[in-house]
Every structure is written in C-alpha cells, then in structure tokens.
Chains A and B, each alone.
Chain A
Amino acid sequence: QQQVKQSPQSLIVQKGGISIINCAYENTAFDYFPWYQQFPGKGPALLIAIRPDVSEKKEGRFTISFNKSAKQFSLHIMDSQPGDSATYFCAASINNNAGNMLTFGGGTRLMVKP
C-alpha cells in the first residue's frame, strides 16, 4: 500500500512560472518530510525538508508548505528555470531501530520550457 501519494506525475511550466507539486501521507508517525531532486544519471539529492511542527519552510526559490491536520505537504518552485527540469520525489521519514526510513512518493517529472 502506497503511504505517500504524489501528484501530478508530470508537469510542464514556462520559464518564470510557479511549479507546484503535492503530496499526501497516511502514517501520522512520520517525523520528517524531505524533497529530493533527481537529474538523469544522478542520484536523488536532498533539496529541502520540513518537520511536522513547522507549517512552511523557504530556501531561495523553493518553499515547502505543510498541513499537518490534512496530512498534506507541497513543494513550490518560484521563478522556475530550465535548469530545474528534473524528477522530484517527496518522501516521509520515520526513525526506527534500523535508521531513518524513507517512504517515497511516486515522483513528478518537471519540465520548464524556456
């Protein structure tokens, strides 16, 4: 059963526009919500992350909005650039007796047109 649902699967945005990716989770035990950016031929790179006691976090053009009661969180990319074209994965993390375990969303392929 997929515990983190991500939408849309693909997204096309014009340069300078806002890209919005949404995720929803089910397990209220998750304690950390990272977003990963993956370029072709590369591994996922941590982009930005948030803890559930915070409603919003901004780093440059990237903002996470977090709604704990709705069990939803989203990534906003302001002033989207062609270099942002990549696959984005939301994830939810829980610390157990093995480590910080990630549950990934299905991914969103973003294309920013010049």
Chain B
Amino acid sequence: DTEVTQTPKHLVMGMTNKKSLKCEQHMGHRAMYWYKQKAKKPPELMFVYSYEKLSINESVPSRFSPECPNSSLLNLHLHALQPEDSALYLCASSHRDQGGQPQHFGDGTRLSIL
C-alpha cells in the first residue's frame, strides 16, 4: 500500500465531461505534485504546490485545473479534455524545505478520453 492515495483508480470520460481526480497524503508533506505519464515514458511534471500555493505550472493547458484545499489534499479538475490526454495521472508528495528527500507517489488514476 502506498502512503499517497489517489481516487479514482480508473476514469473514462467524454470530451465534454467535467471530472476531478483526488489525491491525499498524511505524511505532513508540504509539497505536492501532479504528473502525467504516457506508456513507456517517465512521469512528466505538470504542477507543483508548495504550502498549498501553486508554485510551478509547466505550461499545462487550461483544461487541467489544479486545486489544493489543504495540506493533505490535492485535486485535479478536468474539463473538455482531448484524446491525447489519455494517460496515467500520478500524484506525489515530499518535504518542502528539507533537501535530500524523496517524492512519494500514489498509484495513479488511469484516464481514458473517448
């Protein structure tokens, strides 16, 4: 079992739907991350939240909208996605100020866009 919990595990949605991915951690980490992973590729960073504030947006299209309601929760709101957005979406967390520490990943949400 991972210490970062992501729901749902699988999501199928149409291009006009609105859905949300959820991520939760209780390790006291104050940095949280969203990644997108395509098959046979490493995770690709999308967003970083530091102390619940958006610190990094890697030029992600506005159809992806992140939210960090509190220090334990991270959401990714999805709207009007494209077929190429089908991928595994991973959430991770880490210590914010202490270097030499790993990111801990959840098992991801497998997203399929019809």
Contacts and interface: CB of A to CB of B under 8 A. Distances in A.
A49 interface: yes
B28 interface: no
A40 B102 CA distance: 21
B105 to A, nearest CB: 4
Contacts of A94: 99
A89 interface: yes
Interface in A87-108: 87, 89, 93-95, 97-102, 104-107
Nearest to B96: A99
A12 B99 CA distance: 35
Nearest to B95: A100
Contacts of A99: 30-31, 33, 48, 50, 55, 94-96, 103
Tell me whether chain B's interface is mostly helix, strand or loop, or mixed. loop
**Dominant secondary structure of chain A at its interface with chain B:** strand
Contacts of B96: 98-99
Interface string A5-46: 000000000000000000000000001101010000111111
Contacts of B104: 46
A51 interface: yes
B11 to A, nearest CB: 14
Interface residues of A, number: 28
A104 B99 CA distance: 17
Nearest to B99: A95
A3 to B, nearest CB: 12
Contacts of A36: 105
A100 B33 CA distance: 10
Interface in A58-114: 87, 89, 93-95, 97-102, 104-107, 109
Interface in B44-73: 45, 48, 50, 55-56
A34 B102 contact: yes
Interface of B: 2, 4, 6, 30-31, 33, 40-43, 45, 48, 50, 55-56, 88, 90, 94-108, 110
